[in-house]
Structure formats: C-alpha cells, structure tokens
C-alpha cells in the first residue's frame, strides 16, 4: 500500500504540475482537440489492460506459456486497433469538423503498440504485488515526458506538445519495464491457455470497451455539438476532479483487486475488507471533493488563469459525481474476483443504455444539463452495480449507503462552513481564500468526526499515523 500510494501521489503530483504549466501556455481549444480523441485512446488502453491480463492476476500459478500467450495476443490486438484508427482517422476528423485530428490520431495512437509491448511485464509486477518497482519506473518516465511536453509547448508546438509527451512517456515506461523486470516472452502461443484466459477475459474486455466509450461520451457529444474550447473546459474540469479520486481511490483499487482475489473464497473476510476500504476512501475523498467544489472559482483561476473560468460550474457538479466513483469500482471488483465476468458485462450494458437515455433527455439543456445528467446516471449506476455484489456478500446498496452516508453528510457540513467563510472573504486574493478555506474545511471535518467518534477517523489514524 505504501509503494502504491507513493506511485499514485508521485505520478499525479507530477502530472498535475505539468498540466498547470501547459494550461498556462496552451489554449483550451488545444486541450479540447486531445479530449475529442480521448475515447479512441481509451479504447487502446482498454485493450492493453484487457481481461486477459486480469485473468493472469486471478490465475493461481500462471507459467511462461500463460504470459507469452497473452503477450502475443495483446501485441496483435494493438497493431490491429492502430491500423483501424489509422484508416478511419479522416472519418473521425470529419465527424468533429477538425481536419487536424487525422494527423493527431495517426501519431498519438502509436502509443497503443508501445504500451502493449510491455503490458504483460506490468501485469507480472501487479501479480507479485511489486509496486515499488512500478513506482520507480512510472515516475522517471513521467518526468522525462513532462519536461519534453513543456519544452515543446514553449517552442510553439501547440497541441503537438501533448501528442509527443504521451508517446515519450509510453516509450520510456516500456523500455524500463523490459530492462528492469528481466522478463521476455517465449516464442509460443498456447491455444489451450489462450482459450482459458479468453473465456474469462473477453467479457471484461468488452465491459472495459463499453466503459471507455461511455466514460468519454461527453467529450464526443460536446465536441460534436459545441466548440473545441468547450471540450477543453469539460476535460480540464473532469481531470481536476479525478486528481483526488485517482490518487486515493485509484491506489486502493489497484491493491484491492489482488487483495480481494486472494480471499475470494472467504465471504466474511471479503465483506470486511471491502467495507473497510470503502469507508476509508469515502472518509478521505468526500471532504476533499466537497471543499474543492466550494472553492472552485479561486482554485481554477489560481492554477490555470482566468481563461479557464468557464470550467468552474462543470467542475462543481463533477465533484459530487466523483464521490461515487470508488463505490462503482469496488463493487465491480467483487464480481471479478468471484469469476463472474458475465455479470460484469451484463451490468455494463444496462448502465450504458441508461447513459444514452440520460444524454438524449439532457442535451437540450446544454453542457450544464449534460453534466447534471451524468450525476443522475452515476447515482442510478450505484444501485445497478450493487445488485449482484450485494447478494454475494449480503451487503446490498442500502447497507452500503448506511455505512457511508454519515461521512458524506459531514463532508457537506464542512463544505457549508467553508462556503460561509469564503463568502465573507471573497474579495481577497485567491491564494488567501484557498489557504484559509482549505484549512478551515479540513479542521471542521476532522472536528466533526472526532466529536461524533466516527470509526473511520480512528481507523485512518491507526493505519496512516500509526496511532
């Protein structure tokens, strides 16, 4: 857990600093162009993190033939996907009425092949829970790529600085994984092994593709019916929201899957571990997102300058949506470790139909309407995700809500205190508003939890502070 959090916080901190510098140099439209193709980048990433690699993690004792078979399948898949996007790039750019996207897609998506070249090495490290080595590979790769992106942006390369930064990061990571893990595939493709992993993994791959498409569907809709700058504002708001979510929930999610897999036959232990992780992440994420939402105006202006201020209302709504993200991920992890990828896929299809219906209903209300619809979809998706996992663990949606709702309410109380204070000092400098508001919000939340003797507070102190 320590190494995973070090990697998560380290990479996110570096990415955040790089994004601040780039956001001050580049225009929202240039970020919007990358946002338009994010769904295609996500599809490639989904295939690289395919269900076959998840199958390797849950397999008790995979051997060289298992790893080699998955390696060659991933490589072949990445090449096929790249060429499909290469030839369809003009159609995609025509859909968005942005001719430059043809060239961006053909260069940017080379990262699929580069990353697929080292995905099994990364899977082996996860299987072994060797997160220390993952961290020492990820951070140097990110630093090198970030410096290149900033240099190119200063030199006037515009959107291409973002493209080459992504390729550089993929290349540096892959080279290190090959060199430092010491693993290389054997020239073997075992049909029996492939069938075993494919039988479990293809459903997760399809689920991942669906999730990727619909996670980026708002960029697609905004890019199609609005202007590129609006995509940039939405992407910036979404990225900033995901900062605490990815740091905390993402790190725990990375640990929770192999952890849950190791105790998947013991429902009592599995339920206890799930409940503790869920409460811990909500305990931390809820107040952070609520306070960030309250201080959205000075936060975005201070970090990215006034040209990004249209992103403020998007960001505030997405902060509420972000609170629910960990609950989705952990509930779905239960289905994976139980080997029920069929149910995983079934739930994903149901949720995507829900998203489409919500978009059709809300698009008439503009971008703000779409984002409110996204929040409503997320709430309904929580009940869908908990349907089967609740049965497996005797821990349904209402029981989960009962365990986390007090934490969310206390976060909103702390947020209300910050809002009242910020209203009084709103004419002050942004840095002053952020420091005062953030400090008061954190102290108010901590004080409320201590006064009510919230169990998660003491669990947090025991694990993090060793008290």
Q: Are residues 275 and 248 in the same domain?
A: yes
Q: For the chain, how many structural domains are there in total?
A: 2
pLDDT at residue 342 above 80? no
Q: Are residues 428 and 290 in the same domain?
A: yes
pLDDT in tens, 169-201: 999 998 888 888 888 888 888 788 777 777 766
Out of 87-96, 123-132, 193-202, 344-353, the most confident range is 87-96
Cα–Cα distance, 147 to 320 (Å, whole number): 33
The dihedral formed by the CA atoms of 215, 194, 176 and 47, expressed in degrees to the nearest 10: -20
**CB-based burial label for 149 (10 Å; 0-12, 13-18, 19+):** buried
Q: Are residues 245 and 394 in the same domain?
A: yes
DSSP string, 261-297: HHTTT-HHHHHHHHHHHHHHHHHHHHHHHHHHHHTHH
- The residue length of the chain stands at 467
Contact 335, 344 (CB under 8 A): yes
Which of 158, 175, 209 terminates a domain? The answer is 209
Q: Are residues 241 and 146 in the same domain?
A: no
Q: Are residues 203 and 261 in the same domain?
A: no
Confidence tier at 317 by pLDDT (50, 70, 90)? very high
Q: Are residues 284 and 260 in the same domain?
A: yes
Domain that holds residue 24: 1-209
Q: Are residues 168 and 286 in the same domain?
A: no
Which of 177, 209, 241 terminates a domain? The answer is 209
Q: H or E segment at 227?
A: none
Q: Are residues 134 and 239 in the same domain?
A: no
- pLDDT recorded at residue 420: 92
Query: Mean pLDDT across the stretch 388-399?
Result: 74
Q: Which of 108, 124, 247 lies closest to 177, judged by CA?
A: 124
Confidence tier at 51 by pLDDT (50, 70, 90)? low
Out of 139-143, 199-203, 272-276, 395-399, the most confident range is 139-143
pLDDT at residue 42 above 90? no
pLDDT at residue 462 above 70? no
Contact 424, 248 (CB under 8 A): no
Contact 463, 457 (CB under 8 A): no
Q: Are residues 236 and 361 in the same domain?
A: yes
Q: Are residues 125 and 226 in the same domain?
A: no
Least confident interval from 15-19, 101-105, 254-258, 303-307: 254-258
φ/ψ region of 97 (left if φ > 0, alpha if ψ in -120 to 50, else beta) reads left
Question: Could you tell me the CA-to-CA distances from 213 to 57, 110, 216, 231, 352 in Å, in that order?
Answer: 25, 19, 5, 16, 9
pLDDT at residue 60 above 80? no
Q: Name, in order, each residue with C-beta under 8 angstroms of 386's C-beta and a sequence gap of 6 or more.
A: 327, 331, 396, 397, 400
Q: Are residues 183 and 252 in the same domain?
A: no
Residue 425: phi and psi, rounded to 5, are -115, 20
pLDDT at residue 292 above 80? yes
Which of 209, 244, 267 terminates a domain? The answer is 209
Contact 246, 323 (CB under 8 A): no
pLDDT at residue 466 above 60? no
Confidence tier at 258 by pLDDT (50, 70, 90)? low
Q: Are residues 188 and 285 in the same domain?
A: no
Contact 410, 445 (CB under 8 A): yes
pLDDT at residue 221 above 50? yes
């Amino acid at each position: 857990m320590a190494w995973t959090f070090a990697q998560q916080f380290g990479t996110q901190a570096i990415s955040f600093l790089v994004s601040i510098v780039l956001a001050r140099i580049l225009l929202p439209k240039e970020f919007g162009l990358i946002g338009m193709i994010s769904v295609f980048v996500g599809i490639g990433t989904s295939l690289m993190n395919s269900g076959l690699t998840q199958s390797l993690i849950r397999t008790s004792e995979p051997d060289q033939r298992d790893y080699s078979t998955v390696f060659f399948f991933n490589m072949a898949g990445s090449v096929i996907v790249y060429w499909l996007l290469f030839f369809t790039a003009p159609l995609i750019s025509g859909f968005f009425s942005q001719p430059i996207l043809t060239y961006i897609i053909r260069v940017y998506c080379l990262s699929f092949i580069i990353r697929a070249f080292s995905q099994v090495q990364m899977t082996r490290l996860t299987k072994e829970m060797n997160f220390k080595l993952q961290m020492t590979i990820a951070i140097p790769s990110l630093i090198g790529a970030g410096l290149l992106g900033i240099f190119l942006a200063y030199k006037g390369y515009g959107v291409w600085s973002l493209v080459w930064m992504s390729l550089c990061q993929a290349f540096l990571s892959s080279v290190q994984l090959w060199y430092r893990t010491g693993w290389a595939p054997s020239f073997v493709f075992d049909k029996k092994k492939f069938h075993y992993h494919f039988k479990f993994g293809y459903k997760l791959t399809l689920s991942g593709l669906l999730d990727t498409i619909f996670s980026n569907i708002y960029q697609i809709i905004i890019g199609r019916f609005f202007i590129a700058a609006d995509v940039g504002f939405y992407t910036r708001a979404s990225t900033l929201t995901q900062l605490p979510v990815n740091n905390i929930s993402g790190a725990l999610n990375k640990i929770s899957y192999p952890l849950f897999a190791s105790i998947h036959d013991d429902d009592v232990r599995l339920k206890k571990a799930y409940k503790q992780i869920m409460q811990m992440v909500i305990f931390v994420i809820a107040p952070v997102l609520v306070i960030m939402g309250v201080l959205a105006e000075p936060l975005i202006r201070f970090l990215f300058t006034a040209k990004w201020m249209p992103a403020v209302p998007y960001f505030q709504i997405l902060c509420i949506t972000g609170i629910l993200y960990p609950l989705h991920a952990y509930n779905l992890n239960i289905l994976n470790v139980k080997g029920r990828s069929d149910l995983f896929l079934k739930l994903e299809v149901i949720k995507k139909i829900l998203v489409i219906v919500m978009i059709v209903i809300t698009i008439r209300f503009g971008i703000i309407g779409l984002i409110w619809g996204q929040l409503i979809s997320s709430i309904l998706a929580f009940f869908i995700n908990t349907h089967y996992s609740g049965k497996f663990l005797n821990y349904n949606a209402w029981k989960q809500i009962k365990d986390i709702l007090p934490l969310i309410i206390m976060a909103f109380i702390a947020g209300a205190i910050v809002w009242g204070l910020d209203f009084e000092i709103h004419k002050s400098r942004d840095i002053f508003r952020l420091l005062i508001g953030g400090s008061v919000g954190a102290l108010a939340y901590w004080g409320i939890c201590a006064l009510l003797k919230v169990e998660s507070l003491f669990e947090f102190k025991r694990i993090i502070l060793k008290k």
